[in-house]
Structure 1
């Protein structure tokens, strides 16, 4: 019997010989393509080649399933995704099957998380096969491709290899698994096809030269053409690492098929094997359903635990995932619907499919029987021109009218004349490109040419408007029943809000917690979701979450419908939001790069959201460990800010401090005392960090000393510090003043000396910046800092002052924003409050120098009249205490110091000695504070 493809083989070889000077490998390639087609069609197990998201493949699949009605369908899809297929009934397509792993065992830890997705659209051959198998009694669906674990085992770096995608992509950085990856494997071939096909991108070439000709082809013609295309791309593809992985996939799939045939005893003639056209032309040794064919050695999976679920997908996400032209999947969906109506076909649809009509439960007609002998359909198909549809003027006219209407709604100045121009230009472009009828791509080009002028008036350009017109970016949705337990729990707990959380738009939620206490649980959940989800998914408009606060009213913008994927992926990490949040906090605190500030942040969030003392103590102890192990002080400002907030909260709400807080204070006191001399001289350590260290040491000093720390350690650390940077020198002087080693009078003399030294004047702004940073560790220096700033503004020359002012403002804004109110309040007390008083106002530091002889001005440090040899009436504070001696006498009695009051005119006082007067002269600050509260 003559082989069916001998005539075609002879014809192609003759054509190759006629090409004088052609490639030497051309006859081998052409003959090999025919051999591949012959080999694939002779396989007892029918191979059905497809291209992913191809309407022509879906139509051919639909016809073949109704004709043959196979009992077993083998599908090229990751075998461990099979349990997800039944959940497609509860979804609105497009959706994606997903395998997800965040805790890896057998892969590099830094590669986590790993994710694999397989998108499903209605206009795809695999969805028709899935629907047929799941809704037809007695039909078995078997997924035979490598598992998701093997997907990453076979990648050299075991990390996601997807292309970079936009931020709003629903697939994220997942690795895409595509059935029927028909695309040239090297740029030269694709460029050649696009240039000679007069198209711009691969999707347009495929639609023009494969989709349209094959839409109405019979089954045998479709199979032979698809295998021929797959063989062409296979033989021209470079034999690289990807080619080797594809061959291993083919060995894997055929091994699984043979094992299933042997285990079930199914006749291969009753089966259908659906795979990409590239794999249909496989000639590996392990290919074939013959039981005698050798099996492929399948490696075991790693110990990684994979989690599975469905996530929403969209046409744009699929296009970005697989590098398709924008709008191509939407055009394919529109073509699918048009072809169904043209050929009067009823597609397979899963019963109960969300978003679709219920399919009538009619039994399929009896199968037409087994296929006849293999015959050559390629010769006639390749010899004649493709039978393309003629011009459909009504369809094109409708497109032109609708695009003008849509353009006007989006701000374009389009008119009926533009619609006529788009119509004529579409015909012109189709004729120039050798097409019998304009394609959607021709229409897009014509619309852009005729409507889009100099600029885009709105958010959407004309090309995007054409995509919307031809089908839009359809976005799928996972139904409630197909969600993981965590996602269902979120929807259930937010039900009291009375909102449709599946709606893909921003919704405003108003929570009156005082009037409706039952919404407190919703508020708690929303704050946890705010921490776990992207910013736009859950966004507070009114309300805050801080330690010690009790919310009364809150307002939220919720966009959970468009961020359903992120909620689903939270379900891969735990059963409840609380469990996921606890895991995230632990992961942050025990991360190899975690710092003490990171752990304190986790402590604060655990107190805000979880109210778990056990977890809080555990995170707090972790913060102590991290602080003791740190060798730098880069995070000292964050550590100081957070530990202050936590200590203030505990002091206000609990009778005693937690043990971890006490340990943190003692460890921090010793730790920062040890690092202080080094930080002062280290050039990489800024004044802000040193100021924060001093702020920790001085503000926590009383608590640290009560817990057993030694103040001598701090004094020694300050004495060992010898900074060279002006800002750090100012900080050191402030620290010495706080310790009593540098009185304020001497500090003022040093500052005046700096201003009087012409060599130091250019660096004086840096000293001022240091004093400003010192307001945190030594807040009582605020009057002195205001005095120093005033002197700097008044005495520094403009070439020094003007360049420094912007730097001062940015420094205060970025590093010391909390110090600005301190400076502002002190300046308000120092400077006059009315404009008219400025002329007669004398700065306190100048009034001190110009005071009358024998009566020096009162200083901010509370200079004593007794120390200056003045009568007590010269100081209002002393006079006030002399008139009300009971408090001072009580303090003197407690200290065991009998005192004697000086006699003031017209002031009756008791005679108790002079010790109380000496005490007040030595420590005037407390007396002045009391006087300020009571009044002069």
Structure 2
């Protein structure tokens, strides 16, 4: 049974003081038909499903700065995590109704439960409530209540055939209670509810009104389901009672034509006559409330998708936006846009392919008996013609177009927390855009604007606002003046901003207060890491207090390993003074004190270590050694001498773990304090030691040490002879350790080492390798030619 056949049986109801338009949330067909229906009805009051607490915010609808998709955000000031969103897209019927009223200066307001009730302790969240469009309540055994004869009559009217009996009738009742849209689709001969709704409503281009049919169909479904019980039914009863009370209030104010826009499931119980008000007043009496604040926040198409967990979500917000915006030739325009996206990915798509895809989509729609090619048909045509069956390319189209990444905008005049206002002003000043798609941003900290951007990102991280996260750059550059960030804005960050607002009215003040609040109870290592983050965020007031707390904690902490863990973060932070212009004198002094305390206790910390502990201490020694190098560059050469002296005193100890013996020897070799490296390697690999101990020494010494093996024939010969002399059993035992050591070498280093081993230890490059002179000679010749031409 088609919509046209059903519409002939639905008599147009007489126009009364209340006209109810049952819609599907975020449906372009509903939105287009609703605008035409409002033009025909010409109401003097428009009531839309939504929280009445947000009525003052409706004055912003129509403002050029409020660009959907946007959402109403309601939150409890004392507990911001208790929040709910009411999203709107350009193609949402509710948005179009509000926009219609604002443009014609007609009274408009919301008529659902207030957010003050929704967010009360026993209230339900938006994701629970918003699913009550055409998707009805969950089915249960209570859905089977009612008289069998009346139910069979309703089924017969819906299906146009004798109603099922017995178990089939019960199954249909359960379907209607669980999924009213599925029941309507079954009545229309469809096995896919989404496809039925797209055919009969969303694909309508003639703006004819489907609302009388939807109203009667929903009335039959509600009678079919019968009375429901439980928590869901109580919440539904309160919502519908509030809607009726709001309609009565509008009529009492003298309004003569009230248009009500709501989820289609609620439409049958809101039509006139509304009945006495006393039962609804009793239903609402005693409902818990709490203080809430409402505002507009940007939203995205991706967050409108059902896959995001949104209860009233749709599978294809990008496609629905296209249907609403492209009123003529939607299929042609859509496939043209698909071709553009694929060309942007360097995939060859010709105009002839687009024409062929359009013809295929229209042919499929005809074969399937559809009035217009829908998303299924254009997707099939895209896969077959434009993507040549490539599912990866099709997924790209789905992600970019079918779902989409459109982000709404909110004007600065919308009331919000001071922290959000400061963040918005700062991002405008720094020329940063909040975008839903992830993108990388490379910063050069020598530039003033990039330095301020970096400080903002680090402050937001301290506030746990995950808009920006450190990333790896594709640009080959080194130095402390380079930073790369990955930016991606999520609508839920609006709640995070509200939560962070308790710390201060500006980003800098809030980050400073947040740091002060977490100082107490932190370990020395955590304090050191916070010091680094605080310095990067340019929070001098918090930094002073952090350094004092770090010094106090270091004085109380006797664990040398904790001191070693804290040193690298402090040393790295001290290095940022050169680029950022921050005074790090106190920071360097604290770092030097920790290094000296480490030197005093390192001998005790390296006694009696097992294999796992030796690995941990080895890593800490490496980190501290690198940190001491940074401090030495800042003038702390005496600290470096004291550190190297400590290592030299430890390396000769017989009770030191072989891994640490090898590592300390390597560090001293790099510092040119051990001239007899081959002799030490010879002693370590001599008879009398277990093969595992020898392998551990080799791992400690040669990890990241390919250059030594490439350029020192004596070391290379000793190691090669040791490996060649291992027995089968010993070789099997030490192979994992040796492979782990050589795994730290780069591909180029391994190739150079292999060439050295293959061609012996003769000076110069291997015969088949290009030496430096051979590589540079053509360049030098070209430069000489250019210089001679210039002199001539």
Question: In which range does the TM-score fall when normalised by the shorter chain?
Answer: 0.5 to 0.7
Change over 3 Å in CA distance of 1:803–1:64 after alignment to 2: closer
For 1:492-511, list aligned pairs within 5 A.
Answer: 492-494=428-430
Preserved CA contact (<8 Å) 1:84 1:310: no
Cα distance per residue 1:171-222 (max 9 Å; x no partner): xxxx995673535746966678778867675432212245568952376445
Contact kept in structure 1, 2:338 and 2:401, CA below 8 Å: no
Kindly tell me: are residues 193 and 718 of structure 1, through their superposed partners in 2, closer, same or farther at Cα, counting changes over 3 Å? farther
- 2:49 partner SS: strand
CA contact (8 A) 2:560 2:602 kept: no
TM-score by length of 1: 0.53
- Equivalent residues of 1:314, 1:474 under 8 A apart: yes
- Looking at structure 1, the residues matched to 59 and 618 of structure 2 have their Cα atoms a distance apart, in angstroms, of 62
Specify the alignment match of 2:686 in structure 1.
756
C-alpha distance 253-219 of structure 1, shift in aligned 2 (>3 A): closer
Q: Deviation digits for residues 55-113 of structure 1, max 9, x if unmatched?
A: 44334543454455555544322344444433341336422225376x9855xxxxx85
CA contact (8 A) 1:84 1:309 kept: yes
> Closer, same or farther in 2 for the Cα pair 1:479/1:688, shift >3 Å?
same
Residue of structure 2 aligned with 1:604, choices 532, 549, 568: 532
Distance in 2 (CA, whole Å) between partners of 1:243 and 1:585 is 47
Deviation at 1:311, TM superposition (A): 0.8
Q: Give 1:279 deviation, angstroms.
A: 3.3
1:485 and 2:421 correspond:
yes
For 2:195, the equivalent position in structure 1 comes to: 204
1:727: which partner in 2?
Answer: 659
Which of the residues 638, 641, 653 maps onto 2:568?
A: 641
Structure 1 residues 416-455: aligned runs within 5 Å: 419=355, 423=359, 426-427=362-363, 429-431=365-367, 433-435=368-370, 437-441=371-375, 443-444=377-378, 446-448=380-382, 450-451=384-385, 455=389
Structure with the bigger percentage of helix: 2
Deviation, structure 1 residue 792? 3.9
8 Å CA contact retained: 1:726, 1:766: yes
For the 8 Å contact 1:624–1:667, the answer to whether it is kept is no
Paired position in structure 1 for 2:454 = 527
Name the structure 2 match of 1:125: 93
Q: Which structure has the larger Rg over C-alpha atoms?
A: 1
Match of 2:295 among 308, 318, 330: 308
Residue 161 (structure 2) aligns with: none
Task: Pick one of 24, 46, 53 that aligns with 2:26.
Answer: 53
Paired residues in the alignment total 659
Q: Shift in Å at residue 510 of structure 1? A: 10
2:772 aligned with 1:804, yes or no?
no
Over 3 Å counting, the alpha-carbon distance change for 1:755 and 1:86 in structure 2 is same
Partner secondary structure for residue 77 of structure 1: coil
Deviates more, 1:65-74 or 1:415-424: 415-424
Q: How far does residue 808 in structure 1 lie from its aligned partner after superposition?
A: 1.5
Query: Contact (CA 8 Å) 2:130, 2:311: kept in 1 or not?
Result: no
Q: Deviations over 1:494-540 (max 9, x none)?
A: 36xxx999999989999897xxxxx72x2332223444433599989
The answer as to whether partners of 2:529 and 2:570 remain within 8 angstroms in 1 is: no
Q: Distance in 2 between matches of 1:696 and 1:314?
A: 49
Q: Alpha-carbon deviations, 1:817-875, whole Å to 9, x = none?
A: xxx9xxx9xxxxxx9995499xxxxxxxxxxxxxxxxxxxxxxxxxxxxxxxxxxxxxx
Equivalent residue for 1:75? 48
Partner-residue secondary structure (3-state), 2:737: helix
Cα offset for 1:337?
Answer: 5.3
User: How far off is 1:615 after superposition?
Assistant: 1.1
Where structure 1 has 5 or more consecutive residues not aligned to the other structure, the ranges are: 1-7, 13-33, 107-111, 163-174, 342-394, 514-518, 738-742, 776-780, 814-819, 825-830, 838-936
Question: In the alignment, does 2:226 pair up with 1:290?
Answer: no
Give the RMSD, CA atoms, in angstroms: 6.5
Per mean C-alpha deviation after superposition, the further-off stretch among 695-704 and 241-250 is 695-704
**Residue 141 in 1 paired to residue 109 in 2?**
yes
Matches within 5 A, 1:92-111: 93-99=67-73, 105=78
1:679 and 1:690 in contact (8 A); partners too = no
Counterpart pick for 2:541 among 608, 614, 624? 614
What stretches of structure 2 of length at least 5 have no aligned partner?
1-5, 140-173, 461-466, 754-759, 767-792
Q: CA deviation at 1:616?
A: 0.3
Alignment of 1:243-322 (within 5 A): 245-250=235-240, 266-267=253-254, 271-281=258-268, 290-291=277-278, 293-294=281-282, 295-301=284-290, 308-314=295-301, 317-321=304-308, 322=310
Separation in 1 of the partners of 2:537 and 2:566? 20
Structure with more relative contact order (C-alpha pairs < 8 Å, separation 6 or more): 2
| CA deviation map 1:637-673 (0-9, x unaligned) | 6522122345677899999953995499469938994
Q: Take 2:395 and 2:577, find their aligned partners in 1: how far apart are those partners? A: 57
Aligned partner of 2:65 in structure 1 is 91
Query: TM-score normalized by structure 2?
Result: 0.61
